[in-house]
Amino acid sequence: MIVGNGEVSEAAAKVIDAADLVIRFNDCRSATDIRCRTDVVAVCNTGRPGKAMLASPDWRNHFAVKGASEIWSVRDPAKFAEMRAPLAVSHPELDDFCDDYTDGFEAFARESGKRHVIIDRAIHEGIDEALEAYQPGPYVVPSSGMVVIAEALARYPDADVAIAGFGHVGWEWHPFAAEKKLVEAMISAGRLRRLDTNFSEPQR
């Protein structure tokens, strides 16, 4: 189960908690009750979000973060280091966007007994390539949600992968309209399910 920060129904929440693996994002807004299951917290490990999380005792002590066994850093440090100079020209307002806090998340994971995973740049670049078919227009990077979907499908190729709480809206420099089309194509191909409209347990 990959759970975005959008609305999740009570019926969906029960199915999520029964899954074999539950992935949430950043501040785990989708985990509204201490009973909500969280196995992986996928974090934006660069820029202001990464800096804010590591500096926040509330984040470090959040029940979902404390309960997770893995932290996934969604941005490959080498990829974002290469993006810094081009972004300084195209988007000078994003001067801290590529600031890297991966080492901080590695240290946090080690100190709290969690596994730390850095999602490889090949996942990011594969999404960029796949999005071309859906005319994304100018954008900076794929969303963390899209990166994690692609990583989960690659990491667990035989698993029943489902998403919930994905509204495909947010920061203006993510290609959300194209990402929604890509996700729908994955669903049509049988690679992914959207739990928001299908609350039944998969047949085993």
| pLDDT tens figures, 48-89 | 999 999 999 999 999 999 999 999 999 999 999 999 999 999
The model's confidence at residue 8, banded by pLDDT at 50, 70 and 90, is: confident
Which of 27-31, 68-72, 177-181 has the least mean pLDDT? 27-31
| pLDDT tens figures, 92-146 | 999 999 999 999 999 999 999 999 999 999 999 999 999 999 999 999 999 999 9
pTM for the structure as a whole: 0.93
Tell me how far CA of residue 82 lies from CA of 28, 88, 96, 130, in angstroms: 29, 11, 14, 21
CB 45 within 8 A of CB 74: yes
Could you give phi then psi for residue 96, rounded to 5 degrees? -110, 10
Cα 87 to its chain centre, rounded Å, is 22
Cα 29 to its chain centre, rounded Å, is 13
Residue 20, helix vs strand vs coil: coil
Structure tokens at 159: 């698993």
Amino acid at position 51, single letter: K
Tell me how far CA of residue 80 lies from CA of 38, 39, 171, in angstroms: 27, 26, 18
